[in-house]
Amino acid sequence: MLHTARNMTNTGNKLEREGLRHLQRRLPPGWSLGEPIATPAGPADCTVQLTAPNGDQGVTTVAVKTRLDPKGARSLAEDANRAALDGPLLVVSRYLSEATRALLREGNLGYLDLAGNVRFVMSAPGLYIETTGAAEDPDREERAARSLRGAKAGRIVRALCDGSELPGVRELAALTDVNPGYVSRVLAYLDSQALVTRVGRGRLASVDWPALLRRWAQDAPLESRGETLSFLEPRGLPALVARLPQAKERYAITGGLGAAAFAPIAPARLAVVWMHDAAASAMHLGLRPAQAGANVLLIEPGDDGVFEGAVQRDGVWYAAPSQVAADLLTSPGRGPAEGEELIHWMQANEEVWRRQVRGG
């Protein structure tokens, strides 16, 4: 009989049983799992004894969470590291997102969800189990979809990343021209994902802007934020850059060429430019339509937020570093690696690039 812990609900009991059955099935041959014993206090709900084929025994503590978001994972890791647990903590849940699992790994916590994502490490006796299951919540249709996809969310992300001060809801709404109610909902979502920290009555205490840029790129990849047309500049990218000041449409260079304007990154082989009316601009700039062998991508933005914070160098406009980094993270070829390089440069030079996007 499985023992319950601290008035766990029937749902929790069922989840505990299913989780431990999943763990038992993933143990190597000869290993066995004992009955769970309820714990009276602390972050764990029960302890379970594991026995190796040679008879050596170890104990793991188990925390059962019907749902756990990244913010909760960070808090749980802090509680577990402060507590004197009998053994490594294993988090059992119905489903754990990649962001949640990453924070559990950072906190040296194990996890097991019913979607097949498992990571469990025990030093004595030695045991290591890691499997990858579903990348999305199998029951996601039961919950409202929330992400950073869409123009309004993108404007909020950019404002949070570029600002040196932490704005309130109404100030952020005014900065982004977005309804305060929507801003509040996005901030609540970001808080639940441990991308921002709020205190008091929802005031922002911190923004993890590198993680926020990565999440934005994941939720709203480059191809989802505009219509892309490909061209060939037969004279090479320097010729394109030299003619861009003559462009009749608003534009901003992004991608590797944009990153190189700020950080020491390898020379770009592809020019990516946000530009209104890409077809007309290409004709004016003397670009040739091309599918194969293209070295220029013109992207018509779905929202003018891509131009916010653009920096002018030698008469040429470059998108803000935060915009460039997010664009690179889902670009082809070396784009993702260049995006990470740019983020690392931004972390080391925050005051420099923030002053630039403010026009200082």
Across 142-156, 182-196, 282-296, least confident range: 142-156
pLDDT average, residue stretch 325-353: 93
pLDDT at site 2: 33
Domain locations in the chain as residue ranges:
10-140, 151-219, 222-357
223 vs 327: CA distance, rounded Å? 9
Note the pTM of the prediction, 2 decimals: 0.68
pLDDT at site 315: 93
Give the fold, CATH level 3, of 151-219: Arc Repressor Mutant, subunit A (1.10.10)
Percent of the chain topping pLDDT 90: 55
DSSP string, 27-84: SPTT-EE---EE-SSSS-SEEEEEE-TTS-EEEEEEEEES---HHHHHHHHHHHHHS-
Of 333 and 3, the structure prediction assigns the larger pLDDT to: 333
Report the top-level CATH class of 10-140: alpha beta
pLDDT at site 181: 87
pLDDT at site 43: 85
Across 32-36, 59-63, 99-103, 131-135, least confident range: 131-135
pLDDT at site 144: 37
Residues 140-152 have pLDDT tens digits of: 543 433 789 899 9
pLDDT at site 140: 57
Q: For residue 360, name the pLDDT band (cuts at 50, 70, 90).
A: low
> Where would I find the beta strands (DSSP E) of 110-268?
110-113, 118-122, 127-131, 196-199, 203-207, 226-232, 251-254
Q: How many CB atoms lie within 10 A of CB 235?
A: 11
pLDDT at site 195: 94
Residues 123-170 have pLDDT tens digits of: 999 999 999 988 877 765 434 337 898 999 999 999 999 988 888 888
pLDDT at site 9: 37
The bridge status of strand 226-232 relative to strand 288-289 is antiparallel
Residues 244-266 have pLDDT tens digits of: 998 888 999 999 999 999 988 88
Give 23: exposed, middle or buried? Use CB within 10 Å, 0-12, 13-18, 19+: buried
pLDDT average, residue stretch 315-323: 95
Q: Is residue 53 over pLDDT 90?
A: yes
